[in-house]
Structure 1
Amino acid sequence: MWLTVEDVLSIDVMRGADVIAGHDGLGRNIKSVTVLDAPDASLWLQGHELALTSTFPLLKRRNGLNMLVEELVARNVAGLGLKLHRYMTTLPDAMIARANELAFPIFRVPDHIAWIEIISPIFARVLDTDAQHLIRSEEIRSQFTKQLFSGAGLESLMALLYSMLGRPVLLTSPADAHTVWLPEVAAKVDDVMQILRCPDTAAEHVASCPGVMRKRSADFNVVYIRLDQGADPHAYIAALETGEPIDPPLLHCLVHAREAISMSLLQRRANISITREKHNEFVHTLVDPQLSEGARQAHIARGKEKGIPLHDRYFAAVIKFHNLDEHVFRAVASLFHAKMDDDHLLVSSLDSTRFLLLVPETEQSDLHLDGGAGCIERYIAEVAKFQAAPDWNAGISQATGVIHLDRAYEQAEYALGHSLKSGEKCRVKLHDETGLYRLLSHPAMQNDIRRFIDEWLQPLLQYDRKRRSRLVATLRVFLDNNGNYRETARLMHVHHNTVRYRISQIYTLTRRDILNPRLRLQYQLALVLHDMNRERAPERE
């Protein structure tokens, strides 16, 4: 334990001293002792000092000594000892009241005691306490070092930290897509993550532990330290305080844990990097259009011999992320590669913004229902569990045999190109949806296409432009959902009565039954052609 104000009052030389105010703060820590010799001497204090004064420097501030208490508390001074005999004999009521409010201890020092008689034993106790903390600190460092050099993984290092603190502990490294929470049965992990990420929750320094911070909530506090200084801003080691605060000396465990865990993460990243490079090379070769069928079959056979679980058919997806920084790139790559074991996913990073995912089509999967779009969206959504995912676009191929994955890759790139041309972010484009583009992209057909769009959609397009409404968008969702008002409202995030009003406006403007099977096909074709024209030259509806 650190030396406290209460400890100082128990020193033999302080016999006869009495506490005037701030009894609740007698547990404040002391690391040094100083004498106030000027009215503004509080400006020179650095924290955890015990301040002593004869009260002569305070005479000029007699009417504002409650403000002095606030200054000393703001500078984290441990307490104030003063002699009330020669210069001041009493303290103002406002000063005593403020000290009680802020739990700042003020005590009377016997007048006959020389300052050196107080300062010397305090410094001796401080030095002895520092020596004990240094010994304990080295013991903690030694335990983490032994664990690290014995080959212990991140979970074992966090288990050691948990045993030292006796409180739930958390390791989160979004760039590695890795989180450890001990004990696993403990609740609040989501709440802790939310507080750590929330910039609006104030953080305070833990003065006795450099780098350790504390955030407070109504139900609990979180003490934490950044894992990668100057690197990933959302990587932390943290501990949960639900009752009494963690003893300050124990918080040094976080500092030593960070050193060992950072080294363990570096080793882990190096091993993963080698594995990923080999995997990337395998996938790149698998989709290489220059590879002959015989060479591809031999490559597949070698992959199976190495234990790569290969399936008969795959969907290829190319995902492009926008404004991707280094930390998010690592997080996305880690997440996708983590799916290799669980989902037999084949992954390759094409460049610093694009990923190729080969998703197996199995009897258990439901990829055929939506062409794999839902699967890709779920993968991307998982990134948000660690940090906000950037905008993206994706293209997905048809399901293709493993021997022809070069064709699937080409289809996915083609579909991605159409998704990008649409100007809409976070959009999946299926290769199956691009068939009309290839059939109707000839320049000779463009005049007929524009006339067809005008015949079926012009009244709605004009209405949308004038009123800044969304009739065309509503028509598209309404037809896709077989005229279901409530499902259309849910997908468009509006009330179902809003959808009913818009559909009535569509009926009024077009004078047609849009759900008539013959007319419905015409409207759907007009919407597809309208989208195709927008992708050539994006414009606002």
Structure 2
Amino acid sequence: MRLSELLDLPVFNGTVLIAGKYGVEREVNTVNMMDAPDIIYFLKKDELLVTTAFHFKDDLDSLLLLIREMNKQGCSGLGIKTKRFLQEIPELAISLANELHFPLLELPIHTSLGDIVNKSLSYILDIRTNELHHAMQTHQQFTNHIMSGQGIHKILDSLSSLIDLPVVLLNHQLQLTGRKQFHNLPFSENLESLISTGHYFHFPKTTMTAFSFVNGTRETITLFPVYTHKQYSYLCVLGSVQLSDRSTILTIKQATNVIAFELMKENALKQNTRRIQNEFFTNFIKGAFTTTEEVISRAKEFKLANEQRYICAVGKIDDEDKNLTLLQYQTEEELIHDTIESELQRFHQKIHIFTIDQSYLLLLEMKGGWKEIIQPFLSLLKKIQMKIHSHFQEDLSFGISNYAEQLIHVPVSYKEAIDALYYGNMSGKKQFIDIYQPKEVPEILRMVPFDQLKKFYTDTFQAFANEPKRDHQVLLQTLAVYLETHCQMSETAKRLYVHRNTVIYRLEKCEEIIGRSLKEPEETLRLRLAFRIKSLIQGNSQLFQ
């Protein structure tokens, strides 16, 4: 409660506020009586101290020091009983208290300090008890909404009625959850602009956050974090909530607690559904189903129609060499998945998302022609890349397939997207979006038996396998880029972001290892084919992982 409210108690009759009137709205959580000169070391924030000033009757400096230290610690104020040891409060003390806006009270001689402490604490305790009782009732009310199946939206409606302010629930990206839409709310444009800046990502996660828009509307929004195990949502109050309004804050906190448990339950269900979807798609891609009819039947469970054209995009973090625990990796993967999913929901055509082999697979239901859809789709992927980079400091690249005429042809499209992603990585690019280009040579190579392709690749790079060293991967990457750029030194150096002499040195090392010159056309052709074969069979053989 505030000091001004406490002073209205009968026990404070005759008390005069002689200094620090601008601090009279300070919070008071407890009242203490001074019985030792070193009391300052035992005082707490929001504590009111009353004293007879016996220890300061001949020591003005100590009284001034006490006022300074109490103000520094955030105490509520100092009450001094005069006409006993101090006839009046010194002017220097009054001047200092006014300077610090620190409340200084002159207590009447007829009032016992014990009565002041006891009756003040009793009054504060009664208020806290009432607040606690109200909080328990509110918590029970919110819990009943969940238990009766009315859901989070009913909690929000009840909370809005209790605090007399509009309330909505936002996810970790400040996007509305539930039934309402942005355009129905007065703060929609301001919040949308806040989302676009990405500043919300650095909001405090343990305390409420309040801010006002200064674009003419003067709207105020107060956010209360709702922790749900791995990420935060926000209870958004469309209005100002003062820290001193304990009753309102306690009511809101009861709502956040109940909502947090409900969100955790919903998230567990969502993760289970996501796991089932990913298992189905993984089995589908790897050909685990025995018949086409089984694929079509199972796909209907996930709202995937066979008689539908699809475009497949596979996204993967460019550099996954980070020291993360399994839990940290899973948490980041889920957050990235949720971030991508929230962007897909804004797209004008349906896009399904799956996680497979540490990559994010987007399956676009294609309505209309390729030319009409590809540019909007590319814009969407670029926006996703920017958001992932902004929020997680990660570079996300995409490979895009040609469209599949039916769902049962999607595994081919998936391999095309993987090929596009692979060749983009081999070219040394970062945060790219590449569309698969059909290549005549790979199509021919697909007709060669798998074992023969693997033997050709192994024989070609056997020298590297015989003497595995740390720099062999760098050498192979340099060799691959050199061949893809038609043996152009300058272009190879440019793509790899290294000096031209570094490229020359690495290629000379490659020649030493394989024992043949890279200037021989037949040798470069052999190496080109070996790299193409690797891209074709790496998904089917553990040898190339």
Pairwise same-fold verdict (TM > 0.5): yes
Q: Cα distance 1:306–1:47, how it changes in 2: closer, same or farther (>3 A)? A: closer
Please name the residue that 1:396 is paired with: 400
Residues paired across the two proteins, number: 457
Q: Cα distance 1:7–1:459, how it changes in 2: closer, same or farther (>3 A)? A: closer
C-alpha distance in 2 between matches for 1:77 and 1:447? 69
The answer on whether the counterparts of 1:311 and 1:360 sit within 8 Å (CA) in structure 2 is no
| Structure 2 counterparts to residues 74-113 of structure 1, below 5 A | 74-93=72-91, 95-113=93-111
Please name the residue that 1:411 is paired with: 416
- How far the C-alpha of 1:363 sits from its partner, in A, is 0.4
The answer on whether the counterparts of 2:398 and 2:434 sit within 8 Å (CA) in structure 1 is yes
Please name the residue that 1:227 is paired with: 226
The answer on whether the counterparts of 1:52 and 1:82 sit within 8 Å (CA) in structure 2 is yes
Please name the residue that 1:490 is paired with: none
Please name the residue that 1:186 is paired with: 187
What are the ranges of 5 or more consecutive residues in structure 2 without an aligned counterpart?
323-327, 446-455, 461-478, 501-527, 536-545
**Would you say 1:11 and 2:13 are equivalent positions?**
no
| Structure 2 counterparts to residues 95-494 of structure 1, below 5 A | 95-174=93-172, 179=177, 184-187=185-188, 188-190=190-192, 196-198=200-202, 212-214=207-209, 223-228=222-227, 231-232=230-231, 234-239=232-237, 241-242=239-240, 247-289=245-287, 295-304=291-300, 307-310=303-306, 312-321=308-317, 322=320, 325-337=329-341, 339=344, 343-351=349-357, 353-363=358-368, 366=371, 369=374, 372-381=377-386, 387-388=391-392, 390-402=394-406, 403-432=408-437, 454=488
The answer on whether the counterparts of 2:228 and 2:261 sit within 8 Å (CA) in structure 1 is no
C-alpha distance in 1 between matches for 2:439 and 2:374? 17
Q: Cα distance 1:286–1:94, how it changes in 2: closer, same or farther (>3 A)? A: farther
Task: Indicate the larger mover: 10-19 or 82-91.
Answer: 82-91
C-alpha distance in 1 between matches for 2:265 and 2:480? 58
C-alpha distance in 1 between matches for 2:105 and 2:226? 42
Please name the residue that 2:69 is paired with: 71
The answer on whether the counterparts of 2:228 and 2:260 sit within 8 Å (CA) in structure 1 is no
C-alpha distance in 1 between matches for 2:481 and 2:6? 93
C-alpha distance in 1 between matches for 2:485 and 2:420? 26
The answer on whether the counterparts of 1:6 and 1:26 sit within 8 Å (CA) in structure 2 is yes
C-alpha distance in 1 between matches for 2:64 and 2:194? 37
The answer on whether the counterparts of 1:226 and 1:235 sit within 8 Å (CA) in structure 2 is yes
C-alpha distance in 2 between matches for 1:111 and 1:371? 80
Q: Secondary structure at the match of 2:50?
A: strand
- How far the C-alpha of 1:389 sits from its partner, in A, is 5.9
Q: Cα distance 1:447–1:111, how it changes in 2: closer, same or farther (>3 A)? A: closer
Q: Which amino acid aligns with 2:395?
A: D
- How far the C-alpha of 1:302 sits from its partner, in A, is 4.9
What are the ranges of 5 or more consecutive residues in structure 1 without an aligned counterpart?
204-210, 467-528, 537-541
C-alpha distance in 2 between matches for 1:71 and 1:408? 72
- How far the C-alpha of 1:156 sits from its partner, in A, is 3.0
- How far the C-alpha of 1:217 sits from its partner, in A, is 6.5
Q: Cα distance 1:320–1:54, how it changes in 2: closer, same or farther (>3 A)? A: same
Q: Cα distance 1:152–1:98, how it changes in 2: closer, same or farther (>3 A)? A: farther
Question: CA deviation digits over 1:114-168, x for unaligned, max 9?
Answer: 2112122212212221221122112211221111112133333233333333335
C-alpha distance in 2 between matches for 1:157 and 1:28? 32
Please name the residue that 1:507 is paired with: none
Q: Which amino acid aligns with 1:315?
A: I
Once the two structures are aligned, what percentage of the paired residues are identical? 21
**TM-score, length basis structure 1:** 0.69
Q: Secondary structure at the match of 1:27?
A: coil
Q: Secondary structure at the match of 2:398?
A: strand
C-alpha distance in 1 between matches for 2:60 and 2:439? 84
C-alpha distance in 1 between matches for 2:135 and 2:142? 11
Q: Secondary structure at the match of 2:419?
A: helix
Task: Indicate the larger mover: 283-292 or 33-42.
Answer: 283-292
Q: Secondary structure at the match of 1:16?
A: coil
Q: Cα distance 1:83–1:435, how it changes in 2: closer, same or farther (>3 A)? A: farther
C-alpha distance in 2 between matches for 1:451 and 1:250? 66
Q: Secondary structure at the match of 1:432?
A: coil
C-alpha distance in 2 between matches for 1:33 and 1:50? 5
Q: Cα distance 1:92–1:423, how it changes in 2: closer, same or farther (>3 A)? A: farther
Q: Which amino acid aligns with 2:336?
A: V
Question: CA deviation digits over 1:175-203, x for unaligned, max 9?
Answer: 9976468972225435776665336x8x9
Q: Which amino acid aligns with 2:400?
A: I
Task: Indicate the larger mover: 136-145 or 334-343.
Answer: 334-343
The answer on whether the counterparts of 2:47 and 2:77 sit within 8 Å (CA) in structure 1 is yes
